[in-house]
């Protein structure tokens, strides 16, 4: 085609695009390769939040606002590639929540499911649908979708936990509802630890019928998880990529503990040098014990206890541990698997 004809065609196309644009219509061929990409193209970036940097800021937030006034006193961990969107990955939210001695974070409920992973303190509680659990470091606690929850700290020490919620995912689907509780703190009418007694011993009450996909067991104390990993590590070889890794389950269905968020705990033996791994579920890690590194090609994140880091979809990374390390993690894997989208490679 001659240069003249080409210029004419370009002008005709531009005029056409402008004309249809006014009616909210646009040509696919201009964007096709941006929306249907050969491999995941996520705005999510690898990033590490060091506890040593976060802890003074968490304490400062504690002086500036009460849990009561804030409703939830949380510093949101925003992915550097997703600033302004309250997101740590494209589909998930994470934050560090502080509750000081004597405080109550008032009752509310929402469509979003939440997890708590305790980083600091012992003795604060969360109450879920009338049942309290008193939490300690390393415990994983679920707040199922649309259940009333409030948090309180009758102990003498501050408590900090990582919140993980499916906020961006629920927002994408425009399926969110929220309401405040009738009272600040729920009337707790069930015995503390009831859920663990009913569902935490590979048994269930004979009359039990599931009302939702979320696990009826909502408290997974660290002692049990730690013991399971330790025993595994003695009897089995470490996987070349992830060491010894368990996923939390709903003990009744055998499925994920939460329908939208997959949760895991893994142990990396001392001196572990993992092989490259990638999967389509961008993953948030919180370090419970030990020190090590997460390497992405040239970039290295050096982690220690209570640090949080994020590994984006499909970017190969490898985990290394100088001393035995224990890592909690969460991702949207259950959603991807339910939709036949999940992939991994190593």
Residues of this chain that bind ligand GTQ (CB under 6 A): 72, 74, 95, 97, 110, 114, 149, 163, 165
Q: Closest approach of Cβ 25 to ligand GTQ, in Å?
A: 38
**In terms of CB distance, is 72 or 245 closer to ligand GTQ?**
72
Close Cβ partners of 24 (under 8 Å, ≥ 6 residues apart): none
Q: Closest approach of Cβ 311 to ligand GTQ, in Å?
A: 21
289-323 core/surface letters (b: 16 or more CB in 10 A; e: else): bbbbbbbbeeeebebbbbbbbbbbbbbbbbbbbee
**In terms of CB distance, is 95 or 121 closer to ligand GTQ?**
95
**In terms of CB distance, is 114 or 310 closer to ligand GTQ?**
114
Quote the CA–CA distance of 107 and 190 in Å, as a whole number: 16
Instruction: For the beta carbon of residue 145, count every other beta carbon within 10 angstroms.
Output: 21
CA distances in angstroms from 208 to 141, 214, 343, listed in the order given: 21, 14, 35
**In terms of CB distance, is 82 or 238 closer to ligand GTQ?**
82
- Phi, psi (rounded to 5 degrees) for 86: 50, 45
**In terms of CB distance, is 280 or 331 closer to ligand GTQ?**
331
Q: Closest approach of Cβ 161 to ligand GTQ, in Å?
A: 9
Q: Closest approach of Cβ 102 to ligand GTQ, in Å?
A: 18
CA distances in angstroms from 71 to 109, 166, 233, listed in the order given: 12, 19, 41
Q: Closest approach of Cβ 305 to ligand GTQ, in Å?
A: 21
Q: Which residue is nearest to ligand GTQ (CB)?
A: 163
């Amino acid at each position: 085609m001659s240069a003249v004809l080409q210029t004419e065609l370009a002008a005709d196309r531009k005029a056409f695009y402008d004309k249809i644009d006014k009616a909210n219509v646009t040509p696919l061929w201009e964007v096709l390769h941006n929306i249907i990409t050969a491999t995941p193209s996520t705005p999510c970036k690898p990033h590490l939040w060091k506890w040593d940097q976060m802890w003074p800021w968490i304490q400062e937030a504690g002086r500036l606002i009460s849990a009561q006034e804030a409703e939830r006193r949380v510093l949101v961990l925003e992915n550097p590639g997703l600033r302004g969107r309250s997101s740590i990955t494209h589909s998930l939210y994470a934050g560090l929540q502080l509750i000081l001695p004597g405080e109550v974070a008032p009752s509310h409920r929402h469509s979003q499911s939440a997890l708590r992973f305790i980083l600091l303190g012992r003795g604060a509680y969360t109450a879920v649908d009338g049942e309290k659990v008193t939490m300690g470091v390393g415990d994983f606690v679920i707040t199922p979708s649309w259940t009333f929850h409030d948090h309180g700290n009758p102990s003498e020490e501050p408590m900090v936990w990582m919140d993980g919620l499916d906020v961006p995912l629920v927002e994408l689907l425009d399926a969110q509802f929220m309401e405040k509780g009738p009272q600040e703190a729920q009337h707790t009418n069930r015995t503390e630890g009831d859920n663990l007694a009913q569902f935490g011993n590979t048994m269930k009450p004979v009359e039990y019928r599931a009302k939702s996909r979320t696990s009826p067991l909502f408290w997974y104390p660290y002692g049990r998880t730690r013991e399971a990993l330790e025993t595994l590590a003695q009897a089995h070889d470490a996987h070349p990529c992830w060491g010894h890794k368990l996923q939390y389950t709903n003990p009744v269905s055998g499925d994920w503990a939460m329908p939208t968020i997959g949760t895991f705990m893994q142990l990396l033996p001392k001196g572990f040098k993992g092989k490259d791994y990638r999967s389509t579920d961008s993953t948030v890690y919180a370090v419970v014990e030990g020190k090590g590194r997460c390497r992405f090609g040239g970039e290295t994140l050096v982690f220690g206890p209570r640090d949080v880091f994020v590994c984006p979809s499909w970017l190969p990374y490898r985990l290394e541990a100088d001393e035995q390390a224990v890592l909690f993690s969460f991702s949207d894997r259950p959603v991807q698997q339910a939709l036949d989208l999940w992939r991994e490679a190593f």
